[in-house]
Amino acid sequence: MNRLRYGLLVLVCLLAESAFCQTGTFSREWQFARYLSEKEANDEAAFVLQAIDKQALSAAQRDSLAYLRGWLAYGTKSLDEASRNLLAVSPGSPFYVKSRYFGAYCLSFQTQRDSARIVMQGLPATDSTLIELRAFEQAGLALLQRRYSRYDILRQQFSYSSYALSAEETRLDAYRKGLAAQKRRSPALAGLFSAVLPGSGKVYAGKPKQGIAAFLPLLTLGLLTWEGYRKDGPTSLRFLGFGSLFTVFYIGNIWGSTLAVKVRRDEFNRGYDNKILFDMHIPLRNLLNR
Amino acid sequence: MTTRFCLICTFLCGICSIAKAQTPLAQVDSLFASGQFLAARVGYERVLFTAESSALQVGAVMGKARCLKQQGLYAQAVTFLNSQTQPGYPDSLLYPLRREQILCAYLAGQFENALSLLDRLPYLHPEVPPSPLLMAIRVLSLNELRRWPEAAIAYHKLAMMAQADTLSMPYRQLPHLKSEKKAQWLSTFIPGAGQFYAGRPGEAALSIVMQSAGLYFGITSFLQGYYLSAWGVGAGLFGSFHAGGVRRAEVLVRQLNERRAAAFNANVRQQVLEMVK
């Protein structure tokens, strides 16, 4: 009887120790990985997190693991992995708020703007600062999507007085004005301009130096063709050679001018997108990265 | 019987715990020895995370630096060692860390950084005599920066220390480096001369032919009354090849200088390594 009691006691002790060890091991490994992440030893931190068996974890532990994996991926600019992990954190986790905001930002950065909008609509906001931050992030996204009317509605929630948001809010307003003032240029019109005067289409598209660079060789080839025609006649090799070269360059310039409008527009949009994303990021770091 | 069994278990557990506590570095060193460098880096970091003894911490730092070196991540090793040279460690432990940092800085190609760290060492550790390895790094870093007069002095000191032959100094015959500006000027006034100066007669001939062809076409077109062709094609070709020739001469001289300096430095490196051995 005594032996049986002793055996039961040992069994209970072993089971309790096993459960305790599992929690303790995860906690220790998680702390260690976070320590590595703070030291920017990202490869080592990823190695430690990789070794953790996900199946044996509780829901809360899985959240902590997803948060840290996401944060690590965010630090190494692997934004796809970062958003996937950060958005997997459940509402009960202490990292939920930070994970949602940064996850939504990662989606915005990856140009998954519609998914980002859906996530941002459900961003947790428990106090006035977070409410304003949510509106700010949504407004930034609206600008990225060029939805100006939505931006105008969201910006009504800007207070312009919060230390962490005021400068960025003012800048977003400036971007809104800059984007609205963008001139709509027509590729067809640029091509037409270049057909009339070579290079002028590129000047119209907003690339004056390229316009001059296109005009000068075409002028030279045109003059050479004219000289060949005037001195040797329309069947001469000189006229046909220079004439063919002029034609190729002339048509190429018209085609290039229509493309230049699109290139210039893309450059303009990319420039503003980078500025908006940068300003969306600053308050997140200041308010949530603690 | 039961009591004896429990006592044996307790004894074995105690032995295992003590052994585990005593050999945290030995376990990680075995990972390093088996070539599992990332796992070893994690192991060394774990020691750093948990260990309280400075000796263990420094051992772990050195171990991680060795792993990074084995993986060719020299710049990362410099940054890591920089973050680990804490003033809390005793001087006797800090010195190997600083020495390792200097070596990694040289291997990472951070020659100015290596020299700056070397200059600081006598002030931070005045009691430690200069080591041949560090003197060799100074010579090699100065060589890479083409500061050969300073390198010659450092080399002489190293040779004296290693009791090597100081008469056959490689610095008696420094590599003759050519002037990029001179090559540019030569090519500006004499087509192809810059390329010839850079030791590329083939390219010089090609440059002369192309520029002459443009000039010839321009002159004959002008004489035949094709004034626009003379200007647009002849002068255009000549101008383009002339400007290109000037730039090419500069590039060729730079490449020649790099080859000569690299050959000289490789020769000195060989001699320095033999001395340090």
Q: Which residues of A touch B228 (CB under 8 A)?
A: 223-224, 226-227
d(CA B41, CA B29): 10
Residue (of B177, B104, B115, B165) closest to B145 by Cα position: B115
Give the model confidence (pLDDT) of B175-203 as tens digits.
899 999 999 999 999 999 999 999 999 99
Say if residue B242 is exposed, middle or buried (CB neighbours under 10 Å; 0-12, 13-18, 19+).
Answer: middle
pLDDT given at position B5 = 56
The amino acid occupying position B29 is: D
CB within 8 A of B240, min separation 6: which ones? B214
Q: Which residues of B touch A228 (CB under 8 A)?
A: 229
Please list the rounded mean pLDDT of every run of 10 residues in chain A (290 residues): 59 49 76 92 92 87 94 92 94 93 95 93 91 95 95 93 91 94 91 95 94 94 94 92 96 96 94 96 88
- Would the CB atoms of B236 and A36 count as touching at under 8 Å? no
Residue (of A195, A250, A240, A248) closest to A219 by Cα position: A250
pLDDT given at position B2 = 58
Q: Give residue B98's pLDDT band: very low, low, confident or very high (50, 70, 90).
A: very high
CATH code 1.25.40.10 for A1-124: yes
pLDDT given at position B52 = 81
Q: Is the pLDDT of residue B84 over 90?
A: no
- CB of B83 within 8 Å of any CB in chain A? yes
Neighbours of A99 (CB within 10 A): 27
Domain ranges of chain A: 1-124, 187-274
d(CA B152, CA B143): 9
pLDDT given at position A4 = 59
Question: Using alpha carbons only, what angle is made at residue A66 by residues A65 and A68, rounded to the nearest 5 degrees?
Answer: 65
Q: Is the pLDDT of residue B14 over 50?
A: no
Which of A36, A49, A216, A230 to probe by mutation at the B interface, max B CB count within 10 Å?
A36
Residue (of A141, A140, A110, A136) closest to A125 by Cα position: A136
The architecture (CATH level 2) of B25-108 comes to Alpha Horseshoe (1.25)
Who among A32, A228, A231 is closest to B49 (CB)? A32
pLDDT given at position B20 = 47
Neighbours of B192 (CB within 10 A): 23
Q: Which residues of A touch B49 (CB under 8 A)?
A: 32, 35
Is the CB of residue A108 less than 8 Å from the CB of residue A276? no
pLDDT given at position B165 = 75
Residue (of A113, A249, A266) closest to A185 by Cα position: A266
Chains A–B, number of C-beta pairs less than 8 Å apart: 42
d(CA B155, CA B168): 11
- CB of A23 within 8 Å of any CB in chain B? no
d(CA A174, CA A177): 5
CB within 8 A of B231, min separation 6: which ones? B218
Q: What percent of chain B has pLDDT over 70?
A: 91
pLDDT given at position B19 = 45
Q: Is the pLDDT of residue B13 over 90?
A: no
d(CA A234, CA A212): 29
- Say if the ipTM goes beyond 0.90: no
- CB of A3 within 8 Å of any CB in chain B? yes
Domain ranges of chain B: 25-108, 180-267
- CB of B163 within 8 Å of any CB in chain A? no
Write down the residue that tokens 């994996």 correspond to. Answer: A69
Neighbours of A269 (CB within 10 A): 14
Residue in A closest to B232 by C-alpha: A220
Specify the pTM: 0.77
The string of DSSP codes covering chain B is -HHHHHHHHHHHHHHHHHHHHH-HHHHHHHHHHTT-HHHHHHHHHHHHHH---HHHHHHHHHHHHHHHHHTT-HHHHHHHHHHH--TTS-HHHHHHHHHHHHHHHHHTT-HHHHHHHHHHHHHH-TTSPPPHHHHHHHHHHHHHTT-HHHHHHHHHHHHHHTT--SSS-GGGS---PPPHHHHHHHHHHSTTHHHHHTT-HHHHHHHHHHHHHHHHHHHHHHHTT-HHHIIIIIIHHHHHHHHHHHHHHHHHHHHHHHHHHHHHHHHHHHHHHHHH-
Residue (of A103, A251, A137, A115) closest to A191 by Cα position: A251
Q: Buried b / exposed e across B70-102, counting CB within 10 Å, b at 16+?
A: eeebbbbbbbbbeebbeeebeeebbbebbbbbb
Who among A3, A48, A221 is closest to B42 (CB)? A48
Give the model confidence (pLDDT) of B215-268 as tens digits.
999 999 999 999 999 998 999 999 999 999 999 999 999 999 999 999 999 999
- CB of B149 within 8 Å of any CB in chain A? no
